[in-house]
Structure 1
Amino acid sequence: MKLPEIALKNHLFVLTTIALLIFIGIRTFNSMPRSEDPFLSVPKYTAVIVYPGASPEDMEKLIVDPIEEVVKEVDDITEIRTEIANGLAILVIESEYGIDYDNIYNDIVDAINKIRGDLPNGIAELDISQYKAEDRIVVHQFALVSEIVPYKLLNDFAEDLEQNLEVSKYIKKIEIEASPQEEIRISLDFQKMANLGIPLRQVIATLQSNNVNIPGGSIKSGNLSFNLKTTGSYGSLEDLRNTAITSDNGQIVYLRNIADINYDYEDMRWIGRFNGKKAIYIVVTQIKGGNIIKLSEELETISSLFKEQLPSTIQLETAFEQAPAVKLRINDFISNLFQGIILVGIIILIFLGWRPALIIITVIPLSILIAITFLDFSDYALQQISIAALVVALGLLVDNGIVVIENIVRFKRDGFSLMEAAAKGTSEVGYAIISSTLTTVLAFAPLSLLNSGPGEFLRSLPITVIYVLVVSLILALTFTPIMASRLLEKRKEKKTSIVLKKLDGFIEKRYVPLLRFSLRKGWIILVVGVVILLGSLTLFPRIGISFFPTADKPMLLIDVDHPYSSNIDHTDNTLKFVESVLDTTDYIANYTVNAGHGNPQVYYNRVPENYKSYHGEVLVNFEEWEPERFYIALEQLRKVFSGYPDARISFRELKNGAPFKAPIEILLIGEELDTLKRISSDVEKMLRSADGILDVDNPLAIAKTDIKIIINRDKASLYNVSLLELDQTIRASLNGLQIDNLKMDADGEDYPLVLRLPFMDRPSLDDFDKVYVANQNGEQIPINQLTSLAFEQDYAKINHFNTERTAAITANVLDPDKTKAYTEAIIPKLDAYKWPKDYRYYLGGEYETQSKSFGDLGILLITSLILIFAVLVLQFKSITQPLIIFSAIPLGISGSFIALFLSGWSFSFFAFVGFISLIGIVINNSIILVDYTNQLIIEGNEKVLAIEIAAKRRFTPIVLTSLTTILGLMPLTFSGTSLWSPLGWTLIGGMISSTLLTLLIVPILYKWLTEITKNK
């Protein structure tokens, strides 16, 4: 190993390079992007198709089936879920992870565009979008609140605030939500039009033709040229009112004679309130790579100045802000990091003295700062995963330094000069620490290749740890010997520290006799180890399995769902009941109400519903995170809401990890809706009778009642009325028909131009009798002569899963950590059910995501083992010695399971991640022990003597590295968070058991399985 010698000879260059990297690291840390959670790059795409008036069956046959057929042919598409309702279809398309998501989006758009011409006329919207976290996740939500100010004025102030906010370089997008669009409404009197013989198509054609601004060209006059201007498009309501439609008996009929023309708002589709008062929202999304802390400071400054300009009747409130949570979480993790550094420093100081401790502790911030620089270059931010990874890596990064320093000190005690001790001590263990670092890296590396939603969530963890370990290795081989050659005492130490003397005494009096006994009676020790392993495995069923834990945030999203035929007013009445409950509940800071729409997306894995009149959502902010008060409040709310009639008021805690539709989701797949309805009813009963399952939702349980307009085609043909004219008249009269946009001179804004009947709120059945349609001869015919109305029960919506019809039964759970257990309790009942031919079920929800993720982690575990084994074979040029080193793994398993059982945490996704990480960590001690034993045998020592010497000399660094790893993890582990504590206990328990048993079992196996002689 020549690197330490090269570093010592070129110490000025090495130190200068490190100083430069530290400077860059400090600047990077100050400017690095910050967020609460990682920005998930999810290969998800959405196609929304709006076809007004179409039934779910018509939407399915005419639109959804053709689109699904072409989309499923796109390469790398893995799943298509479609929800079909009246006039609306939403396709959610997922593709493989780890590929070019933009290319997939382009392929989907191209595929749909190819059949666009084959789809029905009259599609109002066909929008295809790609999921991007930075476009959707709101980091700040303002609410402009007033009980008396009209929406128009609120919207004007919101636009002013939007302009003020746009100066920030950290903002990606600003949107104004829950503000009804103002339109120019032309309320036609169809009876007058019929009396005057004016068909609807004539009104539409006249308005459209008059709203065109065509340049009149130019003329020359002498040396000058003049542009000609026509009268142009409409510029005011008065212009509209004075539009000449036709003439009757020599008199012109103006639009004002047959219609009322006024500004009005569109029919309410999204009603917003803040703390019970009318509100519209201004939501802010952050650019990818932005610093949310600095953005928050800018928002605070801008909004404070803006508040001073508002009239007393309007208040600007903050409905949601992410920055305080980010700041708190980052501060907590940094506090954990510093606590870990202090604990590690104390241990090193106690065992090695202040000079070695100073060298090793100096390596910690150096490694972290340099690693952060690489992390920033890799386009990762400071957030809870990456910062926690620094805490996880804390104990590991000092391992190499401890081994090097301890060996340098040993050489110095043997009489070598400081420079010689630094060179020889580092070189002797150089290959061992390279190998041990590489094995740890290989344990973490496959985690960075996990192509799934959970993989995207945790990817910054293995990347961060790898960067820290590689940097710490380089520093251990270069910076550590340089500092040791200058900071350690030059004269030979006359006395050993009290702690080391005690430790040496323990080694001689306790460990060595036990080691010798183990080498003589190895089977006894091995049997004890196997018994401990088997005993720990029996604990696993009692430990339990969970997926991602709850987010531990003082925030709640309450969903309100009605039967699908419910209007927004009915939904809003239920939301007012929810408000009345929240107003009397302690511990709530504020709440934000949304009727007809979900709240803007404030959490990365909770995607809101879009424009559904039967749906509402309430964002509740609690005063602070106090688990006891939080769960008491949730239990009280659950009891009150469970008894509410005619609506399902439900909620579930926010959870970490990738998004899924519901904790429990059972997809029933088959062709006939009536059969699916019967099966869904039976499955619904299974879920309702099961323990721990709440808020069961069966979309096929309630039929939707519609009023169907039945067109008498024979009469329409007899009266010479075209079906297009008839359909257009019905839409214009009852739903309103947008025919154009007008830019008004007064404010320069565009307004939709909408034709409809003159009803005040919503059309009634009586309004239908006021409508006339013109035939091809210009005659006016009452529309009720050509149509009839009938009440018809229909399915509220139709779902597809991978192009097949399905019914999705969903439910929440009482204890989120037991979702897997609740689901598995239902599976035997589903398997025992008498399924009709060609009908089956599929488990989605958290169970599906968990099964896939744990399966992927299992593959990664095997991959890590194979890679590590291959590296060890190359290093030791042996098959048996890597097997000896691998004996530390089952020893680590024992401690992990015992630690999880005693601490009360379940085996979660992050515990599994900790388990994979443990593999590379626990074998490090074995590598150091086996490698040094080989060196002693090569030097001429007998096998048993070499084992004893190696075990004695490596006892201190092995114990120290294990202690520092454990102590470095303790602050994070004892923080009590459901995300990190299971991972911490997995690592700590595994480190304790593997360290204790490795010092005995590895020597035993080395003696039994190696055929090395002193002449090898």
Structure 2
Amino acid sequence: MKLPQLAIKNYLFVLTTIALAVFLGIRSFNTMPRSEDPFLNLPNYTVVVVYPGASPEDMEELIVDPIEEVIGEIDDVTEIKTEIADGLAVIKVEVEFGVNYDDSYDDIVSEIDKIRPTLPDGIIQLDIDQFKPEDRVAVNQFALVSETVPYNILNDIAEDFEDELETIDYIKKVEIEANPEEEIRITLDFQKMSNLDINLGMVINILQSNNLNIPGGNIKAGNIGFNIKTSGNYESLEEIRNTAIYSDENQIVYLRDIAEVNFDYEESRWIARHNGKKAIYINVTQKRGGNIIKLAEEINKTTTAFKQNLPNTIALETAFEQAPAVALRINDFILNLVQGILLVGIIILIFLGWRSSLIIMVVIPLSILIALTVLDLSGYALQQISIAALVIALGLLVDNGIVVIENIVRFKREGFSLMEAAAKGTSEVGYAIISSTLTTILSFAPLALLESGPGEFLRTLPLTVIFVLLASLVLALTFTPIIASRLLKKGKEKKTPLVTKKLNYFVEKHYSRLLNFALRKGTLVVLASFGFLIASAALFPSIGISFFPTADKPMLLIDVNHPYSSNIDHTDKTLRYIESVLDTTGYVKNYTVNAGHGNPQVYYNRIPEEYKTYHGEVLVNFEEWNPKKFYATLQSLRERFASYPDAQISFRELKNGAPFAAPIEILLIGEEIDTLKSIAYEVERILKQTEGVMDVDNPLSVAKTDISIEINRDKAALLNVPLITIDQTVRASLNGLTIDNLQIDKDNYPLVIRMPFNEKQVLEDFDRIFVTSSTGATLPLKQVASLRFKQNYATLNHFNTNLNTAVTANVSDPDKTKDYMEAIIPKLDAYKWPKGYRYYLGGEYESQSESFGDLGLLLGIALILIFAVLVLQFRSVTQPLIIFSAIPLAFSGSFIALFLTGWSFSFFAFVGFISLQGIVVNNSIILVDYTNQLISEGMEKMEAIKLAAKTRFTPIVLTSLTTILGLMPLTFSGTTLWSPLGWTLIGGMISSTILTLLVVPILYKWLTKNKTN
């Protein structure tokens, strides 16, 4: 290989180029975006429709079916899941990974816009959102708190705070939530209207026409032009009250005569409190590419200044802040990186001396800085995945430098000059380290191609490792020989390091004997290794399988669900009880309560529930992350709330990975809702009888009682009362009907008509509703309609436009979700399913199965790619097979390490498996490549095998040791995300290093001819 010689001759150019790369790396490190988790781009979209007063059946027929139909015709749509409740439909759409997600969003918006005019009037919300955490996840959630100040004043102050925050760079959006909308309410007296022969349609038409602002044109007077202003729209409540509704020869009836006109708040749909006090929220989202640490500093400055001007009756509290956790997480990872560097540096210093170790230690930050430059240019941020990847790559990046330095030193000991030793030593191992680096890269590369939610979450890990390895390879072939030729001591070493002497003694006296025994008793050694693999694999059922682990955050979400007919006040009563318990729990820092809605999204994969009167959620912040205190408190709360009547109170820890509905979700698909109901009961029973399954939720288990207005169509026809008039009048009377919007003092208000209610609506209010016939006559509603109680289903669900229901559950041990499901599936299969009905497994189990299946495929792809590279390098099929023997030997150690440490086989442990196959073959490559060189120089095969094994013993042990030590700080951090991966790699490295030094020589002896081609 000529590259090392060229680098040495052109050292000024090489060093200048590296210096420029380092400068760019330092700049990238200072300016790179920082966040807690990766910015995910997932092909998920949500359509939320709010239509107050509509039953699930009406929502399905009038809104969901038309929307699903047009969405289903869009290319690349793979899944449509819809939940339909009273007045609410949430349609979740998923398209194929890898397509242009923005184009898919535009297609969905365009198709829905086409049918928007055909959807019913009265829809108060139709939102279409793309799953972009940077658009939805709040980096700060503020609570503007007061017990006495009315909502309109709180909202005005919140808007002032919003204006202040929006001046800060890298804030994407500031959103005020949980603030009831102020409206202009016209409460009509239907009885007075009936006495005066004034009908609802007349009032609506007059108010709408009087609120029009039609330009009157312009006229010319000489050289001057004048615009003509007509009556214009309403500008005050008094103008509305003085609207003439009816007139005859004797009198004029004004709106004030038949109605009250006042400012009021919409019906409560979301009640919010912070630490027990009434609140509204101000949520801040961050632009992609921003540095959350610097952003937090600016937000804190603005918040501190704003608080100083608040009255004593109002407080601005921080309900959630992401920046401190990000800073702590990044600092922990950087500390792990520094600890790893020190450990690697110490071991290299002990084995190779200070000059050699100094060269390699310089390569470490150079490789990292170069990798950061490329990562920054690729548009990725500095977050827990990318920083952890640097820690993982730490032990790998020094391997090339160690092999090169060790070989240069060996040539120098043989009498070559520094220049010759640097050139020859690097050239001799050049192709071997290129091949070994390429195989490691190929083991990580498929992970970057994983097209799924977990793949998006993980992507920066393989990319960062690849960038670091490529940088270290280039530096090993150029920078290392240049510096070695100038820094290493000239002449022969006067004194060999003590550790090196001890290691050489071990090689000659012990390893040599063990190697000779292995070569003589090869069959016995190989069979023993195979037995070791089988025994370790037998431990796998005891290890267990989990998916993405918990996030190790001092936060907890408490979900409250009531029977579906429950109103928001009933839900709030349960939340008040939860507050009373939290107030007496010492570990709690603060809490935020939401009735009728989920807490604003503060974590990338925890999407809040939309408006549901029977649902509530509490965000609890604890003082610190202390696993012992956290889980003790969680268990205490579980026990305290377990017996609470008429409510299901469940707990959700924050977890890493892509979002899913629940750990266990069983979708039942069929045509008839009654049949699905009977099946759902059976599935509910199966889940409740499964040990470890808890919080089982069957939406069809509780019937919902509605009041149905039964219209006597014949009588309505005889009295000339159109059906649409009845529907419109009932809606306007009870739920309120928004007829227009108007602006007063630069603020926009909806204009809403409804009946007067002193408290909540009661059945007797139906007697106060009057309808109008086509001839203008008014008559009580009860003359053409009657009330009847009717049981309906609280929610309806669709899966790919088919009717379905979903029975969901939580689990007591998240690491055993797969075990629980494998106990449930045979029972589901044994059930006698009616023809045309089936089940589909969703939730975490679906994500786990899909992701592990994808990882298994990637494992196979990586093996094929690595094998192909080795075939090209060695021009042989048998020698790559020899090298591959290190892989099963590594898996043995991984199983044992996970078993002994108690970690389950998680998604990231599987990632460690895939990574491991490219790492452990490096030792085999170095060993086989050097053996080939010796044989090609004329040495006998057995002599070459023994010499190569003894010569490469030190670099193999040293590279393995540095990889293991580099991983130790991250592994011993005890985090559920990284410890399983670390132990998988460490265990695999230990077993493969020990066994490779014995098994590879045996296989080489058996499978290789005396001469290589």
TM-score normalised to the size of structure 1? Answer: 0.98
Task: Within 5 Å, give how 1:338-417 maps onto structure 2.
Answer: 338-417=338-417
Match of 1:673? 673
SS in 2 for 1:929: helix
SS in 1 for 2:49: strand
Match of 1:264? 264
Match of 1:92? 92
Give the distance between the partners of 2:108 and 2:156, measured in 1 at CA. 38
Match of 2:888? 890
On the 8 A contact 1:884/1:1002 being kept in 2, the answer is yes
Bigger mean CA deviation after superposition, 999-1008 or 518-527: 518-527
Matched, 1:972 2:970: yes
On the 8 A contact 1:273/1:279 being kept in 2, the answer is yes
Give the distance between the partners of 1:862 and 1:992, measured in 2 at CA. 23
Matched, 1:336 2:343: no
Kindly provide the amino acid, as one letter, of the partner of residue 821 in structure 2: T
Match of 1:253? 253
Match of 2:69? 69
Q: Structure 1 residues 120, 740: closer, same or farther in 2, change over 3 A?
A: closer
SS in 1 for 2:549: coil
Q: Structure 1 residues 117, 222: closer, same or farther in 2, change over 3 A?
A: closer
Shift of residue 106, structure 1, vs aligned partner: 2.6
Of 832, 841, 844, which residue of structure 2 is paired with 1:843? 841
Match of 2:611? 611
Shift of residue 122, structure 1, vs aligned partner: 5.5
Kindly provide the amino acid, as one letter, of the partner of residue 94 in structure 1: E
Give the distance between the partners of 1:122 and 1:898, measured in 2 at CA. 63
Match of 1:15? 15
Match of 1:953? 951
SS in 2 for 1:168: coil
Bigger mean CA deviation after superposition, 717-726 or 581-590: 717-726
SS in 2 for 1:481: helix
Shift of residue 121, structure 1, vs aligned partner: 5.8
Kindly provide the amino acid, as one letter, of the partner of residue 426 in structure 2: T
Kindly provide the amino acid, as one letter, of the partner of residue 955 in structure 2: P
Shift of residue 57, structure 1, vs aligned partner: 2.6
Task: Within 5 Å, give how 1:468-547 maps onto structure 2.
Answer: 468-547=468-547
On the 8 A contact 2:908/2:980 being kept in 1, the answer is yes
String of CA shifts for 1:202-229, please: whole Å, max 9, x gaps. Answer: 1111111111112222222222222222
Bigger mean CA deviation after superposition, 385-394 or 414-423: 414-423
Shift of residue 52, structure 1, vs aligned partner: 4.3
Matched, 1:868 2:866: yes
Give the distance between the partners of 1:435 and 1:857, measured in 2 at CA. 24
Give the distance between the partners of 2:139 and 2:49, measured in 1 at CA. 29
String of CA shifts for 1:560-609, please: whole Å, max 9, x gaps. Answer: 11111111111111100111111111200000000110000011111000
Task: Within 5 Å, give how 1:8-407 maps onto structure 2.
Answer: 8-116=8-116, 119=119, 123-407=123-407
Give the distance between the partners of 2:318 and 2:616, measured in 1 at CA. 20
Give the distance between the partners of 2:624 and 2:113, measured in 1 at CA. 50
Give the distance between the partners of 1:53 and 1:597, measured in 2 at CA. 17
Paired residues, number: 1013
Give the distance between the partners of 1:92 and 1:977, measured in 2 at CA. 32
On the 8 A contact 2:122/2:737 being kept in 1, the answer is no
Give the distance between the partners of 1:742 and 1:799, measured in 2 at CA. 37
Give the distance between the partners of 1:705 and 1:271, measured in 2 at CA. 24
On the 8 A contact 2:122/2:738 being kept in 1, the answer is no
Kindly provide the amino acid, as one letter, of the partner of residue 834 in structure 1: K
Kindly provide the amino acid, as one letter, of the partner of residue 772 in structure 1: F
Percent of aligned pairs sharing the same letter: 73
String of CA shifts for 1:635-680, please: whole Å, max 9, x gaps. Answer: 1100111101111111121111111100011112221111111111
CA RMSD of aligned residues (A): 1.3
Give the distance between the partners of 1:758 and 1:418, measured in 2 at CA. 97
Shift of residue 761, structure 1, vs aligned partner: 3.5
Gapped regions of structure 2 (runs ≥ 5): none
On the 8 A contact 2:447/2:462 being kept in 1, the answer is yes
Task: Within 5 Å, give how 1:456-855 maps onto structure 2.
Answer: 456-744=456-744, 747-855=745-853
On the 8 A contact 1:196/1:248 being kept in 2, the answer is no
Give the distance between the partners of 2:534 and 2:942, measured in 1 at CA. 30
Shift of residue 734, structure 1, vs aligned partner: 0.8
String of CA shifts for 1:967-991, please: whole Å, max 9, x gaps. Answer: 0000000111111011000000000
Shift of residue 794, structure 1, vs aligned partner: 0.6
On the 8 A contact 2:940/2:1010 being kept in 1, the answer is no
Give the distance between the partners of 2:749 and 2:52, measured in 1 at CA. 21
Give the distance between the partners of 1:505 and 1:266, measured in 2 at CA. 85
Bigger mean CA deviation after superposition, 756-765 or 879-888: 756-765
Q: Structure 1 residues 161, 652: closer, same or farther in 2, change over 3 A?
A: same
SS in 1 for 2:382: coil
On the 8 A contact 1:109/1:128 being kept in 2, the answer is yes
On the 8 A contact 2:48/2:88 being kept in 1, the answer is yes
Kindly provide the amino acid, as one letter, of the partner of residue 906 in structure 2: S
Kindly provide the amino acid, as one letter, of the partner of residue 809 in structure 2: A
String of CA shifts for 1:728-749, please: whole Å, max 9, x gaps. Answer: 21111111111111111xx310
Shift of residue 495, structure 1, vs aligned partner: 2.3
Shift of residue 117, structure 1, vs aligned partner: 5.6
Kindly provide the amino acid, as one letter, of the partner of residue 338 in structure 1: V
Give the distance between the partners of 2:742 and 2:110, measured in 1 at CA. 32
Shift of residue 113, structure 1, vs aligned partner: 4.4
Q: Structure 1 residues 120, 219: closer, same or farther in 2, change over 3 A?
A: closer
Give the distance between the partners of 1:302 and 1:110, measured in 2 at CA. 39
Gapped regions of structure 1 (runs ≥ 5): none
Give the distance between the partners of 1:715 and 1:933, measured in 2 at CA. 101
Bigger mean CA deviation after superposition, 50-59 or 111-120: 111-120
TM-score normalised to the size of structure 2? Answer: 0.99
On the 8 A contact 2:88/2:611 being kept in 1, the answer is no
Shift of residue 44, structure 1, vs aligned partner: 0.7
Match of 1:913? 911
SS in 1 for 2:273: strand
Give the distance between the partners of 1:362 and 1:636, measured in 2 at CA. 52
Kindly provide the amino acid, as one letter, of the partner of residue 344 in structure 1: V
Matched, 1:899 2:897: yes
Bigger mean CA deviation after superposition, 986-995 or 715-724: 715-724
Kindly provide the amino acid, as one letter, of the partner of residue 30 in structure 2: N
SS in 2 for 1:805: strand
SS in 2 for 1:660: coil
Kindly provide the amino acid, as one letter, of the partner of residue 205 in structure 2: A
Q: Structure 1 residues 165, 117: closer, same or farther in 2, change over 3 A?
A: closer
Shift of residue 81, structure 1, vs aligned partner: 0.7
Shift of residue 115, structure 1, vs aligned partner: 4.7
On the 8 A contact 2:53/2:735 being kept in 1, the answer is no
Give the distance between the partners of 1:690 and 1:177, measured in 2 at CA. 40
Shift of residue 539, structure 1, vs aligned partner: 0.8
String of CA shifts for 1:442-478, please: whole Å, max 9, x gaps. Answer: 0000001111111111111001000000011001111
Give the distance between the partners of 1:611 and 1:123, measured in 2 at CA. 14
Give the distance between the partners of 2:53 and 2:240, measured in 1 at CA. 29
Kindly provide the amino acid, as one letter, of the partner of residue 386 in structure 1: S
Kindly provide the amino acid, as one letter, of the partner of residue 932 in structure 2: N
Give the distance between the partners of 1:118 and 1:157, measured in 2 at CA. 39
Give the distance between the partners of 1:128 and 1:956, measured in 2 at CA. 61
On the 8 A contact 1:606/1:659 being kept in 2, the answer is yes
Bigger mean CA deviation after superposition, 1000-1009 or 125-134: 125-134
Kindly provide the amino acid, as one letter, of the partner of residue 391 in structure 1: V
Kindly provide the amino acid, as one letter, of the partner of residue 890 in structure 2: G
Task: Within 5 Å, give how 1:429-468 maps onto structure 2.
Answer: 429-468=429-468
On the 8 A contact 1:447/1:455 being kept in 2, the answer is yes
Give the distance between the partners of 1:231 and 1:652, measured in 2 at CA. 57
